[in-house]
Amino acid sequence: MHKRYGERTIYDGLDFQVRRRERWCVMGINGAGKSTLLKLIAGASEPDSGTVTRGPSVKMGYFAQHAMELLEAERTVLQSLEDSFPQAGQAALRALAGCFGFSGDEIEKKCRVLSGGEKARLVMAKMLFDPPNFLVLDEPTNHLDIATKQMLVEALSRFEGAMLFVSHDRHFLAALSNRVLELTPEGPHLYGGGYTEYVERTGQEAPGLRT
C-alpha cells in the first residue's frame, strides 16, 4: 500500500503480513509512521492506494495512541462501559471494572477526574471485554505504573492471538515480541526474531527507548 500526507510519503509500496501467533513490534523514530501503520491496519485510516485485508475470522482489538482522550468526560466509568456494551448486564460490567482495578465506588468516578493510568485501564477493559484474537496496540503502557504494566505484560504473554504493537518500553518489547518491523528512512526492515534477538543481531536498541 501507499500512504502520503501532502508532500510527505509515509509508505511507498509497503507489503506486510501478520500471521497467526506472530507478535510484531513496530520500531522507528518519532514520525516514522508507526501509528499510521496501526491506523491503516485497524481501519482508522485508508491507504491512498493498495489494500488492507483482514482474514475472515480476525477479531481485532485496537488501542490507539490517543485512545484515552476519546473517553467522554462527563460519563462515569460504569456508564462508559455501558455505552460501549449496551447489551451487557451491570453485573458483568462491574466485574470487568473490578478486574481492571476499579473497586467499589470507583466505578462512579467521572472520566474527567481519572488519572492517566485509570483511563488507560478503562480503555483496556473495553478492548478486552469481548476477547479479540488480534491486538493492535499503540503505546499502551505510557500511563501505567510499574505494577500495572507488569500485570499487562503477564496477561498479554498468555494471549494466544496475533499482536502488532508499538512500545518504547524495553521489558514490554522483549517479553512480548517474536517479530520486529523496523521503519527506517530507507524503508521497512523485517526481522524474523523477537526484540531480544534483534538487539543481539544488530547491536542496537530501539530508538526512543524508555526504561
Ligand X SMILES: Nc1ncnc2c1ncn2[C@@H]1O[C@H](COP(=O)(O)OP(=O)(O)OP(=O)(O)O)[C@@H](O)[C@H]1O
- Of 27-46, binders to Mg ion (CB under 5 A) are 34-35
CA atoms within 13 A on the CB side of 90: 3
- Of 63-102, binders to Mg ion (CB under 5 A) are 65
Listed ranges 32-40, 83-91, 105-113, 148-156: which one lies at the site for ligand X (CB under 6 A):
32-40
Q: Are the CB atoms for 117 and 148 separated by under 8 Å? A: yes
- Closest CB to ligand X among residues 125, 137: 137
Q: Are the CB atoms for 69 and 33 separated by under 8 Å? A: no
One-letter identity of residue 62: Y
| From 32, 64, 114, 122, residue interacting with ligand X (rule: CB under 6 A) | 32
Smallest distance, Å, CB 120 to ligand X? 16
Whole-angstrom distance, CA of residue 46 vs CA of residue 20: 23
Give start and end residues of each alpha helix (H) in 52-194: 77-84, 90-99, 116-129, 146-157, 170-176
Residue 5 in contact with ligand X, rule: CB under 6 A: yes
Binding mask 56-95 for ligand X (x = CB under 6 A): ---------x------------------------------
Collapsing DSSP to helix, strand or coil, 166 comes out as strand
Kindly determine how many residues on this chain lie close enough to bind Mg ion according to the rule CB under 5 A.
3
Smallest distance, Å, CB 116 to ligand X? 16
Whole-angstrom distance, CA of residue 139 vs CA of residue 116: 13
- Closest CB to Mg ion among residues 35, 177: 35
- Closest CB to Mg ion among residues 33, 194: 33
Which strands, in side-by-side order, build the sheet including 162-166?
60-63, 134-138, 162-166, 23-27, 179-184, 187-191
Smallest distance, Å, CB 125 to ligand X? 23
Q: Binding residues for ligand X, per CB under 6 A?
A: 5, 10, 28, 30-36, 65
